Amino acid sequence: MNAREPGPLDSFVREFGALVDRGADEAAIFREGRALLAGLIAQDGWLPQALLEPDPDSYRIHRLHVDPAGRFSVSAMVWGPGQGTPIHDHTVWGMVGVLRGRERCEEFGHLLEPGGPLVAGDVHELAPGDIDLVSPSIGDIHRVSNALPDGTSVSIHVYGGDIGVIHRSRYDEAGKATPFVSPYAACLVPVPAS
Ligand code: FE
């Protein structure tokens, strides 16, 4: 696909924007927006090759689109073998859809109250086409890693804000929170609808 031609990401951003324009609440985002994300990750070949390449040092987050009003963002995360996030939260709703490879998700919750010790929850793997949901209302703390020992995994993320600048927290195993911002990777590749 020529990067200058409208592609699946353009359609997704337009339709997701219309959903947000309509004033969709979190439940509607998780119902209708999830269906839009499922449609996007059902297609492959629309991300420029340069954005599919893992960095040998760390997972990368590529900014694909940030709503001009900051109401949502779309990003791509690329994981090399053995790479993963710290335990972290998001502070906004989020949807994670796997495009390629396989991702492992470990959920955590506060044992008693916000700010208290963490307790481990469900552990599961996501295959291409699978979508995970996070938000402060349904569970917002997890750790994500590449489940492939020798391959690259790629996921498409949609958040209720500009995830590259949101101030949030990462946690140690004991639940101690540390301020955390996960900036976008430097990206010199034009992406449709960005
Ligand atoms: Fe996350």
User: How many whole angstroms from 115 Cα to the centroid of ligand 1?
Assistant: 18
Written as six digits, the tokens of 138 are: 């349904």
User: How many whole angstroms from 2 Cα to the centroid of ligand 1?
Assistant: 31
pLDDT at 145 over 60: yes
User: How many whole angstroms from 142 Cα to the centroid of ligand 1?
Assistant: 6
Q: Pick the range with the lowest mean pLDDT from 31-35, 134-138, 182-186.
A: 182-186
Q: Pick the range with the lowest mean pLDDT from 64-73, 99-108, 185-194.
A: 185-194
* pTM for the full predicted model: 0.92
The single residue listed with the structure tokens 């498409």 is: 156
pLDDT at 1 over 50: no
State the pLDDT at residue 105: 97
User: How many whole angstroms from 134 Cα to the centroid of ligand 1?
Assistant: 8
Phi–psi pair at 85, nearest 5 degrees: -90, 165
Amino acid letter, 4: R
Q: How far apart are the first and last CA of the chain?
A: 16
Q: At what angle do helices 34-41 and 8-21 cross, to 10 degrees?
A: 180
Averaged pLDDT for residues 50-54: 93
Nearest to 190 by CA among 55, 54, 2: 2
H/E run at residue 85: none
Q: Tens of pLDDT along 76-105? A: 999 999 999 999 999 999 999 999 999 999
User: How many whole angstroms from 144 Cα to the centroid of ligand 1?
Assistant: 7
Question: pLDDT category, 190, cuts 50, 70, 90?
Answer: low
Nearest to 108 by CA among 169, 58, 149, 27: 169
pLDDT at 154 over 50: yes
d(Cα 7, Cα 166) in Å, to the nearest integer?
28
Q: Tens of pLDDT along 163-184? A: 999 999 999 988 889 999 998 9
State the pLDDT at residue 174: 84
User: How many whole angstroms from 85 Cα to the centroid of ligand 1?
Assistant: 8
State the pLDDT at residue 187: 65
User: How many whole angstroms from 37 Cα to the centroid of ligand 1?
Assistant: 16
User: How many whole angstroms from 132 Cα to the centroid of ligand 1?
Assistant: 10
Nearest to 91 by CA among 162, 184, 19: 162
State the pLDDT at residue 116: 79
Cα–chain-centroid distance for residue 10?
A: 18
Nearest to 83 by CA among 107, 55, 41: 55
Cα–chain-centroid distance for residue 161?
A: 11
pLDDT at 142 over 70: yes
Domains of the chain: 8-180 (2.60.120.10)
User: How many whole angstroms from 74 Cα to the centroid of ligand 1?
Assistant: 13
